[in-house]
Structure 1
Amino acid sequence: MVEWHEAASSTGTRVVFQDHAVKPADLKREADSMLVFWIENQHGYYWAVDPESTDRQVLDRTNTSDTWRPTGENLERFLLHRTVHEALTGTEVKFSAVVPTEVLESGALDGFSALPFAPAVNESSSTRWLCSGDALARVAPPPAGYAPPGQESWMLTIAAAPGADLRKYRAGLEPHVLERPRREERPDKVIPAPPF
């Protein structure tokens, strides 16, 4: 965990945009001996490890439960998973599309490989993460009201580092791409970007 914080701070840029990693100086055991190290942005979900465990399996719980459940990821994999999640969340270079299953299966993800992440407690069990040589992708069920009635669809988000060109990934998906509202820049008020 300390190594992750050191690596994150050495990037010279923000690494966490939505949820947050507990700073090493603030890590402390809970009453149940668990060490909470990652917290969802609305404090609805917590992730922890048992410091006495040698396998460093990550467990999660909600803010309404005292029961810790295994995530299926060890600490290293979990930190990589959350870093990828935060990278996709934080970049401005991305697009989302509500894509019918047949479009998704007809080559929309050619060039992408699956990442070995178990869905997190705050993700749908059918969420899948992928990467190509220059982009990340998340495939998940669309939010309520986004899918066309009677059509099985997926929310596909593709993101890349600043300066990257996503046109090759948008090709063939244009009819399904969601338009992102432009941020209104006002000096007296910061308006956050939408979550897609």
Structure 2
Amino acid sequence: MMTNLFSVFDPSTSLGVPFNWLGCMIGFLFIPYIFWFLPNRTSLIWNKLLQTLHTEFKILLGLNSLGSTLMFISLFIFILFNNFLGLFPYIFTSTSHLSMTLALSLPLWISFMCYGWFNHTQHMFAHLVPQGTPTVLMPFMVCIETISNVIRPGTLAVRLAANMIAGHLLLTLLGNQGPAATSSILVLLISAQILLLMLESAVAVIQAYVFAVLSTLYSSETH
């Protein structure tokens, strides 16, 4: 039963090659539209969003990280497109797989750690003991902070994948009840699916924003 339930997330194709992963690149087809469309409300809203993200990430990163906001804005856009594309029928949701989310979080975390420990070693050691910690608790705090630092890429990956899976599973379970439902129950099912779809649209934006902001905060701690 559980295998059949989660089989909707399997990246399988009839050709024996997982071409579904190429769906991650569909979002890039929408990015350069500014070069062949005249400025419109959509482009103005998009530019306003990018400027807002740039301002916020610049505050989190500080003045010594000029240009780094581009990486985190690109990460936000990439996750946002993949989250939204997964809401369409018959489109593979790549961000519901740990192999995808770990591929995003683990290299970022490793690069932050390598940069921090090689260039700001004393600063990284200072982060292991929060300010004001009693002397007796310092060894325990070092262990706790080290563990919390090591599990960061895992928590980033699991948070994104779990939130994508949860909403899609609810939509799938409700959709499977349709053929056997009466007319009155069918109206309730469709209404519930519309509400869930609106909720999932909000989750798609929120999870992309949370992933990008947490990555920015982890990067700012290494400076």
Is the strand fraction higher in 1 or 2? 1
Is the helix fraction higher in 1 or 2? 2
TM class, shorter-length: under 0.3
TM-score, L = length of structure 2: 0.26
Name the larger-Rg structure. 2
